[in-house]
Structure 1
Amino acid sequence: MNVHAPALAKAHRFDEQTSAFADDVIDGLAQHPKRLSPKYFYDATGSELFEQITLLPEYYPTRTELSILRDRGSAISAIIPKGAALVEFGAGATTKVRLLLQQCAFGAYVPVDISGDFLKAQADALRKDFPSLDVYPVAADFTAPFALPEQIAGMPKVGFFPGSTLGNFEPHEACAFLRSARDILGERARMVIGVDLEKDERALYHAYNDSAGITARFNLNVLHRINRELGGNFDLSAFIHRAIYNRDRHRIEMHLISRKSQTVRMLGRSFSFRAGESIHTESSYKYSLERFAALARGSGWVPRESWMDPAGMFSVHALVASD
């Protein structure tokens, strides 16, 4: 049993996910420098805020990837086996997957996400709009091994990992994810994956420091989640959002900066902050086509095709599992 279970059970609904959240937060805040995993951004409020971010004029990835999927749909369809099962890792809003389902002859769709209630709602909506498509949702952490539904055992498999989520992984973690996806999908699998590209630093800065302050609210919401679910006493007004581009590591870094010296308590633990001290909440790596191709080859995949928008802001890649 998790050592934090008594405290959690006393004031909060305790379950396995909350326990993992508590363990990760305590471990992350005990590190030097402090850090939190970006996967904890996405409670109900965080997911809603992220959807708002995707519509911001400064935030290019979503609309650019959608344009690639729309404009290159026939080329993507040409390399996907007819009747394949589409497995989406970390299924979110269905806008992107709908473009693939409209243009490719899939036999089944398997959305994978840790939120079972969210998955059910998305699956029900897709069944209504695609009545001939078999939909088999899987509630699982897509970054860890999971079993595919038995109903698709005999189908060719195509993985789908849109957005710039791969960039949230450290390079060795990205390699591990791609290897795990290859093992889950099996021999002769395909993968369609979105990858954000290196570009002018000003465009990157504004994409993560929008003028409406939505990204700042999104970043700070993780502290609100800790307060709500883990009994923390973070004062959100005592932290500010900061996003910077680390040129040497080809990544945007998001931080929460303490405005003052302070001590925060959570689950019987105290965490001290110096004025100006950071909690590193997210890294978003940006790739060149060549660096991503090297990563894919080193992770058990062979690059087959890649497509970019005319401005070279974003890319979509088709990979084939190596022998």
Structure 2
Amino acid sequence: MSTHGTIQLDVHLTGTDAGSALRADVARGLTATPKELPPKWFYDARGSDLFEQITELPEYYPFRTERALLRDSVDDIARSSGADTVVELGSGSSTKTRLLLDAFTRTGTLTRYVPQDVSESALRGALDELHDAYPDLALHGVVGDFTRDLDRLPGADPGGKRMIAFLGGTIGNLLPVPRHEFLTHVRSVLAPGEQLLLGTGLVTDVDTMIPAYDDAAGVTAEFNRNVLHVVNRELGADFDVDAFTHVAVWDADNAWIEMRLRAGRDMTVHVADLDLDVPFTAGEEIATEVSSKFRPEQIDAMLTDAGFETTRRWVDPEGRFALTLATAV
């Protein structure tokens, strides 16, 4: 039950958990064919700073397009939802969500905000700032992994309902099977009538999409290579980071941008903490991230398959991003 103006923090993910997950992901990914490293390991302090820089790049339209769309649509979203609890998955600094909180406050329904993130320090900082900005709002932070810890989210207040916000187009970073599993998991923790607000990048022209993930200044390239710095530091690996080139390609069949790291020469990388030697041939690639783009009918289909019904959708004027409000059935 929400309590007027209080702050609560539940921690379900510790540094030890993250270290174990990194070891498992690197051991599995660097022995797979083709090799891969999950994109969640981009985001140490340096990676988070690089991503903030990416959001300001002229080529990176997704962030500013969603922000503008959210700014134009928040009052309509709040009226259409009527939820008293807003939950945000992967909240980070919660900056875009302030637009939602302001709109839900204006409707008079909002009593609680539940930000969820993997970083305890980021969440603590966000909660302190939000408490200053919204002193009457109950804040309940949850440190956890949104792919597996959703059943630990606080339930709805008696007679109330929650809206889970999953913004930023992050759903596009999940491959089709994990994406379906995630949406089904979200549905499983919601009661009928509760809602999901989903942000999705839309399929647009390739000349617009590719530069968003391969900018002229090379910031995205540094962001991509940062995963190798993380593995070097955390697992005692000896990647020659500068020997890997950032690659971003459009896969039309799967409708996604695929980011890779391409080895510039033959080499063997030793990962000391795993006692693992990883051979690379010149031109061999590590898959690091996909960013799926969708068409409206695909969004509806994947939501229906997970047990939702599309209630409303808002799309920016250039047709590059969508916000979809879906209701659990």
Same fold (TM over 0.5): yes
Corresponding residue number in structure 2 for 1:312: 319
Q: SS where residue 185 of structure 1 aligns?
A: coil
Matched, 1:166 2:171: yes
Counterpart residue number, 1:140: 144
Separation (CA, whole Å) in 2 of partners of 1:301 and 1:205: 31
- The verdict on how the C-alpha distance between 1:114 and 1:154 changes in structure 2, with shifts beyond 3 A counting, is farther
Correspondent of 1:291 among 269, 273, 298: 298
Distance 1:231 1:243 in 2: 27
Q: Number of residue pairs matched?
A: 309
Deviates more, 1:87-96 or 1:206-215: 87-96
Amino acid at match of 2:41: Y
Aligned-partner residue type, residue 269 of structure 1: L
The answer to which of 161-170 and 146-155 deviates more is: 146-155
Number of the residue aligned with 1:118: 122
> Which AA in structure 2 matches 1:246?
D
Cα distance in 1 for residues equivalent to 2:238 and 2:36? 17
* C-alpha RMSD of the superposition: 1.5
CA contact (8 A) 1:86 1:110 kept: yes
Distance 1:88 1:113 in 2: 9
Show structure 2 runs of 5+ residues with no match. 1-14
Instruction: State the alpha-carbon separation in 1 of the partners of residues 259 and 137 from structure 2.
Output: 39
Q: Is the 8 A contact 2:42 2:227 kept in 1?
A: yes
SS of structure 2 residue aligned to 1:104: helix
Unpaired runs of 5+ residues, structure 1, are 1-13
1:98 aligned onto 2:103: no
* 1:180-209, Cα deviation, whole Å (9 max, x unpaired): 112223332111110000010011111111
Deviation by residue 1:136-163 (Cα, 9 ceiling, x = unmatched): 0011111113312368465311000011
Q: Which residue of 1 aligns with 2:88?
A: 88
Deviation sequence 1:215-269 (CA, Å, 0-9, x none): 0000000000001111110011110100000111101000000000000011211
Which residue of the partner structure matches residue 73 of structure 1?
Answer: 74
- Residues 156 and 189 in structure 1, CA contact (< 8 A), matched pair in contact too: yes
Q: How far, CA to CA, are the matches of 2:205 and 2:305 in structure 1?
A: 28
Equivalence for 1:210: 215
Report the 3-state secondary structure (helix = DSSP H, G, I; strand = E; otherwise coil) of the residue aligned with 2:319. Answer: coil
Give the corresponding residue for 2:31.
Answer: 30
**TM value normalised by structure 2:** 0.91
The residue aligned with 1:41 is: 42
What one-letter code is carried by the residue in structure 1 that aligns with 2:242?
S
- Contact residue 156 and residue 162 of structure 2 kept, 8 A: no
Q: Deviations over 1:264-289 (max 9, x none)?
A: 01121100001000000001111000
Q: Distance in 2 between matches of 1:71 and 1:176?
A: 31
SS at the partner of 1:58? coil
Query: TM-score normalised to the size of structure 1?
Result: 0.93
Please say if residues 89 and 111 of structure 1, whose CA atoms lie closer than 8 Å, have aligned partners that are also in contact: yes
1:232/1:102 Cα in 2 relative to 1: closer, same or farther (>3 Å)? same
